[in-house]
Amino acid sequence: MVDAALEKRQVKRAYALYSPIYDFIFDRIFHPGRVAAVKLLDIQPDERILEVGIGTGLNLPLYPRHCRLTGIDLSDKMLEKAQAKIEELGLDNVTLKVMDASALDFADNEFDRAVATYVISAVPDPLGVLREMRRVVKPGGAIVILNHFRSQSRVVGALEDLVSPLCTRLGWKSNLALEPLLREVGLTPELITKVNVFNGWRLLRCGNRK
């Protein structure tokens, strides 16, 4: 088993390498899911929103300007790309921070809503990340997750288990199971839907019941 510190270094190194080409590879393929995720947040005026794993800022154009957005990421190289987008778009309602999502430097109940798109399977401690998201989101606030999770098909799931060690080295988990994760962190989905090519990714919204 890869220890958490080593896995974190592997993830950070992988995404530092991806940063120059990340938008080219991941923008069009995963754009429909991103649009659906931000829409599902149902952001109201002046709400404080946290995006965990904001990366190069591909979601930035999707947010309404009437919210206050904080985006965090473990990779400073990815955030450099996001900062360039902020300047290009003329956004004055966005703050970026280099931060470990499993140890957020925010107060309890600081945000109205939180979102993580294509992130939960790319962090060493997905359970810790979701617990931290719950902690910093106000009671009754929304938590939206968009991610690939282990297939419920026995054959596909077994294949995802097989390639998992390689995928971990590349920066993500191929066989992260959704239901046990939600059960451990105490989240109950209000809605689950499938998005993107072949409906291979699951989008869910959970109310933060504390």
Domain coverage including residue 78? 4-149+177-207
Total domain count for the chain? Answer: 1
d(CA 135, CA 153): 33
CA 176/CA 162 separation, integer angstroms: 12
The reply to whether 163 falls in a domain is no
Asked if 82 and 60 count as a contact pair (C-beta separation under 8 A), the reply is yes
Tell whether 185 is covered by a domain: yes
**Residue range 157-187, pLDDT digits in tens:** 678 767 777 666 666 787 888 999 999 999 9
The string of pLDDT tens digits covering residues 191-200 is 999 999 878 8
Q: CATH no. for residue 192?
A: 3.40.50.150
Residue 165 lies in a domain: no
Whether 158 is in a domain gets the answer no
Question: Is 127 within the bounds of a domain?
Answer: yes
In three-state secondary structure terms, 99 is coil
The answer to whether residue 56 sits within a structural domain is yes
Q: Is residue 159 part of a domain?
A: no
* Residue reference for tokens 């190289």: 77
The whole-number pLDDT of residue 1 equals 38
CA 26 to chain centre: 14
- CA-to-CA distance for 58 and 210, rounded, in angstroms? 31
**Cβ 74 vs Cβ 98: under 8 Å:** yes
**How far is it, in rounded angstroms, from Cα 44 to Cα 209?**
19
Tell me the whole-structure pTM to 2 decimals.
0.85
Q: Are 83 and 63 in contact (CB under 8 A)?
A: no
Low-confidence stretches of the chain (pLDDT beneath 50): 1-2, 5-6
